[in-house]
Each structure stands twice: as structure tokens, then as C-alpha cells.
Amino acid sequence: MLRVGGTLLERLVNQGEGGYQGPKVPCDCGGMARFVEYRTKQVRTILGKITVRRAYYFCGECHQAQTPLDKTLDVVGSGLSPGIRRLSCRVGAKESFALGNEDLWELASVEVNAKEVERISERVGEEIMGKEHERRERVFSGKVVVLPQQAVPKKVYIAVDGTGVPVVPKERLGRRGKGEDGKARTRESKLGCVFT
């Protein structure tokens, strides 16, 4: 079934003109990128590997390549589909990257190595942290958007919890622990959550 789904997905993705947008497209540098040729790219999806045929543009001014279809499919700089990246982040956030890669194989027959799970999880984590930082800056600068009355939730829940997180020995120096020897083996990490 996965093979059939992968074949259908590949046909669907390659049905159009591969992101062709004419002989020239605007480049981020302000110049124009010229259409060079069609190039293929292997993309791993939840349904298996597919080959995508896409229009390739090159800018003579900044010497950067563009493939508009990669933007549309959200695979710029990646050979993994958004679905596999989402699954990798999910398992990478819940357990070790090595176990995450095993779970992806066992649960979805998706082959992603532990290093890829780590890289994807860290990159998405950095993006999320950047967005949270921007949001926090808006709150502290007083530029918070007030919700209209009908959008205000009727109930808001607040949850707080803490857990011991294993840390390297230098992070435990001078701290008392719960063990019989009185040495700390973990540091407490607290998490708060506000939701409707």
C-alpha cells in the first residue's frame, strides 16, 4: 500500500510543470534568475522515496539557484518531506534520537537515521524558540493584541510540574541530593503550561 501511495504521490507532484514560472523569475538579490533546465530531486516521504522533477533557475548576479517547486513542497535544503520532519520532531522530543529513529521504522516504516532525527528536532526547536522570543518581546514591549470579547476563553487552565533531569557532574557540584550518599545526580527542571 505504501508503494502504491508513493507512486500516486510522485505522479501527482510531477503532474504540473515542476514549478516553471517562465524564462526568468525575480531573485532575492534584486536581479533575475534564468531558467536553466529541469532537475530531479529524491524526497523521502511517509509513503517512501519519490523523485520530483522541478524547474531550476540560476541568478547570474548573486550566483544562487532557485527551485520554486521546492518552496511549494516545503523541501528547500532538505530531502525529507514535511510529514517525515514533523514525525521526527515528535519522536525526537519524547525520547532519545536513537530510539526515535527506531520508533519511526517500527510505527511507520520510515527510515530516518538518529542523526537526522537530532538535526531536524534541533532546527525546528530553534525556529520555535525564535518565534517564542519574538512573542515575548512583543509582550514586554506592550504591543500585545487584545482579543475581541467573543475570542476570550471561558476557562483557562494552568499546570506546573517539575522533574529531575540528568546533568553532567560539574552541574551538580555543591548540591544536595535525595540519595543515601547525599549527592545530587539530577537538577530539577520546571515546566508551566497555560491553555484553554
Looking at the domain assignment, is residue 183 inside a domain?
yes
**For residues 154 and 146, what is the distance between their CA atoms, to the nearest angstrom?**
16
Q: Which domain holds residue 186?
A: 153-195
Question: Hunting for cell 510505527 — which residue is that?
Answer: 107
Work out how many domains the chain is built from and give that number: 2
pLDDT tier, 94 (very low <50, low <70, confident <90, very high otherwise): confident
Looking at the domain assignment, is residue 88 inside a domain?
no
Residue at a domain's end among 59, 79, 99: 79
Percent of the chain with pLDDT over 90: 36
Looking at the domain assignment, is residue 105 inside a domain?
no
Q: Which residues of 56-87 are buried (b: 16+ CB within 10 A; e: fewer)?
A: bbebeeeeeebbbbbeebebeebebbeebbeb
**For residues 178 and 190, what is the distance between their CA atoms, to the nearest angstrom?**
18
- For the segment 121-131, what is each residue's pLDDT rounded down to a tens digit? 898 889 889 99
Looking at the domain assignment, is residue 27 inside a domain?
yes
Question: Does residue 70 register a pLDDT over 90?
Answer: yes
Looking at the domain assignment, is residue 104 inside a domain?
no
- For the segment 167-194, what is each residue's pLDDT rounded down to a tens digit? 888 888 888 888 788 888 888 889 898 8
Looking at the domain assignment, is residue 176 inside a domain?
yes
Looking at the domain assignment, is residue 53 inside a domain?
yes
pLDDT of residue 146: 64
pLDDT of residue 145: 66
Query: 42 pairs with which residues across the strands?
Result: 51
Q: Provide the H-helix boundaries in the chain.
A: 2-13, 68-73, 82-94, 97-108, 114-141
Looking at the domain assignment, is residue 145 inside a domain?
no
User: What pTM value is reported for the model?
Assistant: 0.61
Residue at a domain's end among 56, 79, 102: 79
Residue at a domain's end among 62, 79, 96: 79
